[in-house]
Chain A
């Protein structure tokens, strides 16, 4: 019944001159519930950065190529954690979702194995690509906890780094994968 009314509202809104109606959304980011009224055209990455204020998720391009905006998401398109590029997704499409950003990885002041390994293996220089790189890595380690180097390269192929040359990134992910397997907990 509520949905029928929603369709009518949309039909009414869509017929008139376009009003800037906001849409309510609820998302859980790093375990914290947020609800906001957002403009329907707001991209998820802008929502995370500008509305919620978590600026660790970066924007590096306009074409969905660089991967700097990668976050983990579940609960909308299926119930598994999946790495997605938050720059090609509207915030309204994430209504009801759970999201993990780079700010959600360290626990009680202790770095996540991936963060630690990036530090120890010099897998970053300027650090701009790092949040996206780490979340892309976490996303595929969830699917494949024991990857070969070749598989790691496929796993981060959606992320660009202009500084490191990738070799140390691959080493860091390999080391983190081992630690995550030993700990038995990926997050």
Chain B
């Protein structure tokens, strides 16, 4: 355990104060819900630094739907996301994922911004955000900028984020009519189950059951969350038959590079990825009446 008796915690109430301190004080690290960071500080996974507590910056806690875009403030907790009618209507994939982020105690305090910036390849909000082509609003002393979620991650825990910047908002343009999708997760114990494999599948189907658009995202099987273009290519233009679903599921192994770790071996993760993508496709096919 790391000794933390000299860590300072500065609390602010507004975004302006937060940005001022981040740019004027060197080496401050943001703390929101603390569910990742306090544990990582104690165990020495991250270096000891002074902390900027933004958990009370209420202006970053909201779910809104404006100009056709779903906007989620970075400090919104997974409990709020799970319970939000707007999220359920416009991004049900994300509501499904929110319900699996640890126990209720973790959902009550863990924020979507913290989940994104902690950048675990197993983070549960990320496969839905990849499938939904979400965008992040990042604010800093140079103003605001927007980054697509895929471009935010440059490698394992390497982010397009400067030390004086904050993630302020997650933006999702609802994919539109005819899209159906689900989140999936294989964890070991529900209340503190970091995923062995997780993912999201989102399809647009024609009334005849032909796939018009396919988005398959997988977590915990590469240094960052990945989309599976190989699987998506098999799906688009085809009817969702069991044979197509198997081929699409098996194609995901082309796009993942899992490793062995305490939660599972690489081979196990490959097997799980294929099976879960198949089961999720099958579930969608059944729900839409494409297969009986």
Residues of A bordering B, CB below 8 Å: 3, 6-7, 10-11, 13-15, 18, 23, 40-41, 43, 62-65, 67, 70, 76-78, 82-85, 87-90, 92-93, 95, 136, 139-140, 143, 153-159
Contact = CB atoms under 8 A, between A and B. Distances in A.
B9 A90 contact: yes
Identify the 3 closest CB pairs spanning chains A and B, nearest first: A158-B103, A157-B191, A40-B9
Contacts, number: 135
A2 to B, nearest CB: 11
A64 B38 contact: yes
A11 B39 contact: no
Given A64-B39, A93-B11, A158-B102, A84 B108 contact: yes
15 contacts: A7-B20, A11-B24, A14-B8, A14-B10, A18-B8, A40-B9, A41-B5, A62-B39, A62-B42, A76-B56, A77-B55, A83-B108, A89-B38, A93-B9, A139-B108
B105 A40 contact: no
Interface in B42-100: 42-43, 50, 53, 55-56, 61, 77, 79-80
Contacts of B56: 76-77, 93, 95
Interface string B1-33: 100111111111110010011001100100101
Query: Which of A82, A88, A92, A95 counts the most B-chain CB atoms under 10 A from its CB?
Result: A88
B109 interface: yes
Query: Which of B10, B43, B102, B108 counts the most A-chain CB atoms under 10 A from its CB?
Result: B108
B146 to A, nearest CB: 26
B17 A3 contact: yes
Contacts of B24: 11
A89 B6 contact: no
A18 to B, nearest CB: 6
Interface in B166-214: 189-192
Contacts of A41: 4-9
B106 interface: yes
Contacts of A76: 55-56
Given A63-B42, A93-B9, 18 more contacts: A14-B8, A14-B25, A14-B50, A23-B11, A40-B10, A41-B5, A41-B8, A63-B43, A64-B192, A65-B191, A84-B108, A85-B106, A93-B55, A93-B56, A95-B11, A136-B104, A139-B104, A157-B189
Interface of B: 1, 4-14, 17, 20-21, 24-25, 28, 31, 33-35, 38-39, 42-43, 50, 53, 55-56, 61, 77, 79-80, 102-106, 108-109, 189-192
Contacts of A62: 1, 39, 42-43
Contacts of A78: 61, 80
Nearest to B28: A14
B105 A84 contact: yes
Given A11-B25, A41-B4, A77-B55, A159 B10 contact: no
A96 to B, nearest CB: 8
Contact of A155 (B7, B104, B189): B104
A67 B34 contact: no
B105 A83 contact: yes
Contacts of B21: 7, 10-11, 14
A85 B192 CA distance: 13
Contacts of B28: 14
A136 B109 contact: no
Contacts of A64: 35, 38-39, 106, 192
A6 B10 CA distance: 10
Nearest to A81: B108
Nearest to B99: A154
A84 B9 CA distance: 20
B34 A89 contact: yes
Contacts of B9: 40-41, 90, 92-93
B31 to A, nearest CB: 8
